[in-house]
Amino acid sequence: MQLKDRVTLITGGAAGIGKATAKRFTEEGATVIICDVNSEAGEAVAKELNIAFYMVDITDRQAVEKWVEDVLNDHGRIDILVNNAGVLRDGQLVKWKNGEVVGRMSEEAFDLVISVNLKGVFNCTQAVVPVMIQQGGGVILNASSVVGLDGNFGQTNYVATKAGVLGMTKVWARELGRYKIRVNAVAPGFTATEMVMQMPDKILDGMRQHTPLGRLGEPRDIANAYLFLASDEASFITGEILRVDGGIVVGT
C-alpha cells in the first residue's frame, strides 16, 4: 500500500497506460480520479476499478480548473497528478515524390497534438500546483516518450510535444522543489496499448526487432514506473526522465 489514501488525478485514464496506471495505483491504496474525453470508456473503467471519472477536455482551461475544484471539494487535497493524456496525428513535414510535393502535415494536425500533449499538460499542472503548495507538497508525473529524446520519422508534432514535456519537467522541478513538489517524466518505448496493437503486424514485428529485450512494453510496465516515482521510495528524485523502453534507440 505504497500510496495509501493519496488522492491521484490521472488524465487520459480511460485506456492504455492511463488505465493501467489507475489500476496499479488503486492496488497500492491510492484514491484515484481519472478524466478523459471518451465518456463511455471512462465510465467503464471507473466501474471496473471502483474509482471516479470526469469527462474533461484538458485543452479547455476552465474545464480543467472546474475538475480540480470539484476533486478538492470532495477530497480536500490532491497528492499526485499524472499527466498521461495524449494524441497522435502522424505525417511527414513534406512528402516529396517525382519532383513535387505530394503531401504535408496539416496545420490542424500540428495544432491538435500541440494543444493536447503540451498545452494540456501545462493546463493541468498549473491548476494543481497551488493546491499542492498550500498543502505542503505533492508529485507531478509527465508522460513523455523515447521519441522526445531521439526523434522519429513522420512525427514532427508528437516529438515536439514530448520534447517540450521534458523541458517543462526540468523547469517545474527547479521552480517547485522549494514547495516539496517533485516533478518527473517517464519516457515509454513501444508499448502494447490498444492503439498500438491495431497497427499492422509488419509494423509491430519491426518494433519488437528494434527493442533489445525483444518485446513491446506492457502498459503495466509503464504504470510501475509511475508508481515508483510517485512513492516515497523516490523521495529524493526530481527533474528526471525515466526511460521504460526495453533498451530501444529509435531509428536504429
Considering the candidates 54, 158, 179, 226, report the single residue annotated as catalytic.
158
Residue 54 designated active-site: no
Residue bearing cell 488524465: 11
Q: What angle separates helix 219-230 from helix 16-27, to the nearest 10 degrees?
A: 50
Look up residue 197 and give its three cell numbers. Answer: 496493437
CA distance 32 to 1: 14
Q: Report the C-alpha dihedral over residues 71, 76, 82, 85, rounded to 10 degrees.
A: 10
Q: Which of 19, 16, 10, 140 is nearest to 84 (CA)?
A: 10
Q: Report the C-alpha dihedral over residues 79, 74, 222, 240, rounded to 10 degrees.
A: -20
Q: What angle separates helix 16-27 from helix 39-49, to the nearest 10 degrees?
A: 20
Neighbour order of strands in the sheet with 52-55: 52-55, 31-36, 7-11, 80-83, 138-143, 181-188, 241-244
Report how far apart the first and last C-alpha atoms of the chain are (Å, whole number).
40
User: CB–CB of 158/213 below 8 Å?
Assistant: no
* Residues known to be catalytic: 158
